[in-house]
Amino acid sequence: MANPSAFPMNKPVNRYVGALPKIGIRPCIDGRRRGVRESLEEQTMTLAKAAAELLTKNLRHPCGLPVECVIADTTIGRVAEAAACQDKFSRENVGVSITVTPCWCYGSETMDMDPLTPKAVWGFNGTERPGAVYLAAVLAAHAQKGVPAFGIYGHDVMESKDSGVIPSDVAEKLLRFAKAGLAVATMRGKSYLSMGGTAMGIAGSIVNPELLEKWLGMRSESVDMSEFVRRWDEGIYDPEEFKKAKAWVKENVTLGWDKNPKEMQHTAEYKEWALDTNIKMTMIARDMMTGNPRLKELGFAEEAAGHNAILAGFQGQRQWNDHFPNGDFLEAILSSSFDWNGIREPLPVATENDHLNGLAMLFGKLVSCTASGFADVRTYWSPDAVERVTGWKPEGAAANGFIHLINSGAVCLDATGECKDASGKPAMKPWWDIKPEEAAKCLNATQFCYADLGYFRGGGYSSHLLTKGGMPMTMVRLNMVSGLGPVLQIAEGWSVELPEHVHKTLDARTDPTWPTTWFAPRLTGTDAFTDVYSVMNNWGANHGAFNYGHIGADLITLCSMLRIPVSMHNVPEDKIFRPSTWNAFGTKDREGADYRACQAYGPVYGKK
């Protein structure tokens, strides 16, 4: 059994090159002096300070460090002050900007013109001064100049003396915008590390540099899988950490059964070597992603630098897995919120180097600050089929059927649901909220079974677990479509708990040594969400990522910033928040308008 004392809490740290992005607050004001501007100075700055307080109190970066806000040194009434604000924001590494105002201002003179910074404008809903008029005017300027901005306008009229009070509807939009905007800024300049190449002809593992560079502002990095062999042969890893990791695994990890026929099973000596190799592979993959200063101390300065990778993919099948231990262990451990060094930020690694599903994992992690799961969208189980096979008629959350999410051997261990929310229900939490006892329970609920040698001739250890039911979840997939570009799919729903005999019967029909999540999407009765079958039938690929919580609205906002249309979702209409310019592309057909707007503006970092 895992020992909670083996999971110390790490301090938050920025693993990547470059400072963390900040949120810039731009207090705009009526530029007319001799009484007008002077009467508005305090109220305008109060709005800015209130926005900054809301954001800093409620947001953290995925690494756990607090989000910082930078307020312009003065209110912005004319172009010179807008330029001074931009200069300060450039020096302070501001990656997201929010303009606030209670009054009329000079639109094109005060607006944020940086084409790469996600931007929003909050116009205070009051009657003393026309904040809403400025909001409408400056959003029209953003539309005319091709620099999209989000408009925020409170539902109810407020008194000018209450400028420091942010109504709940405004707060919700400010937080949603800020989370998505920070995700955009965080990805910019980072790398996707392709460890290997294309796996088994899976299109998602044909890495697309244009997608990474033009839509996300990321680099496409690649290493041949022989680099793993070179590093373990030449000792390019920390030997002291390896000893620590090996002892931790021996004490805390449960090794499961070997399902292979006796005559095929590997020897005990080989299995021990495979486990040691899996541990080294995990360390090596992490070092290649984010670097490791310890390697420089050991004489490996070049390897110590890493690839500044915020996301990676491991090819595995087939060439690697036909000869060496598979990557299930490294994918599961790195994607989780803890390892032998304690509780820390998860590092998402995509199975089979499917970078499109990896990006879905990354999007989910950045807006939720929780670990992301990777899965095959394997099987739709209709109520009739379940009853025929098991004798049990699905009920409750499973009444309309469900989807079997099961990856071929790896998923983040957070997906067990052994962490608990404030009410004691199963959850996947930001790593800084995870208690050592919860991390230990996640590991106790996982068995690392020996790999199926029919799939993985080189052996290895696959993570076998079952996700607890009742967790709100969002399943996501990024697809690339010729002539269109990237498109996102979203399905919000819940994990489902099945009776034990039902789970075992259904699970045994695939591979019971792999991780399973039973997922029931929320149905709307229309289009792709008419029923569970329709969700499965409209899914764009064989893989999907999932995160805890209903985060579809945050992902829609993020995608609009990246000019990635959303092709299917079941997010309530009143939660959808996109740039105001999207309204000009049609208000009756919101999905079509999203496509048209994304096509018109093109990728943020370069035209297609």
Alpha-carbon separation of residue 565 from 487, 541, 568, 577, 593 (angstroms): 5, 16, 9, 13, 9
Is residue 554 within 8 Å of 488, Cβ to Cβ? no
Q: Which residues, 6+ apart, have CB-to-CB distance to 477 below 8 Å? A: 356, 357, 360, 377, 488, 489, 539, 540, 541, 543, 544, 545
* 3-state class (DSSP) for residue 495: strand
Residue-wise pLDDT for 29-63, tens only, equals 999 999 999 999 999 999 999 999 999 999 999 99
Is residue 540 within 8 Å of 533, Cβ to Cβ? no
The predicted structure's pLDDT at residue 156: 87
Start-end of CATH 3.20.14.10 domains in the chain: 191-601
Is residue 368 within 8 Å of 479, Cβ to Cβ? no
Is residue 33 within 8 Å of 153, Cβ to Cβ? no
Distance CA 136, CA 153 (A): 10
- Amino acid making up residue 248: W
pLDDT category, 196, cuts 50, 70, 90?
A: very high
* 3-state class (DSSP) for residue 461: strand
Q: 22-187 has which CATH code?
A: 3.40.50.1070
Rounded to an integer, the average pLDDT of 265-288 is 98
Mean pLDDT computed over every residue of the chain:
96
CA 444 to chain centre: 25
Query: Strand 69-71 relative to strand 94-101: parallel, antiparallel, unpaired?
Result: unpaired
Residue-wise pLDDT for 9-35, tens only, equals 999 999 999 999 999 999 999 999 999
Distance CA 471, CA 520 (A): 10
Distance CA 513, CA 364 (A): 26
* Radius of gyration over every alpha carbon of the chain, rounded to an integer in angstroms: 25
* 3-state class (DSSP) for residue 580: helix
The predicted structure's pLDDT at residue 126: 79
pLDDT exceeds cutoff 70 at 522: yes
Dihedral angle computed from the Cα positions of residues 126, 122, 489 and 352, in that order, rounded to the nearest 10 degrees: -150
Residue-wise pLDDT for 331-390, tens only, equals 999 999 999 999 999 999 999 999 999 999 999 999 999 999 999 999 999 999 999 999
pLDDT exceeds cutoff 90 at 213: yes
Start-end of CATH 3.40.50.1070 domains in the chain: 22-187
CA 441 to chain centre: 24
Query: Which CATH superfamily, name and number, covers 191-601?
Result: L-fucose/L-arabinose isomerase, C-terminal (3.20.14.10)
pLDDT exceeds cutoff 80 at 443: yes
- 66: closest CA among 165, 182, 216, 217? 182
What phi and psi values does residue 228 have, to the nearest 5 degrees?
A: -60, -45
What phi and psi values does residue 38 have, to the nearest 5 degrees?
A: -60, -35
Q: Which residues are catalytic?
A: 352, 376
pLDDT category, 127, cuts 50, 70, 90?
A: low
User: Which pTM value belongs to this model?
Assistant: 0.97
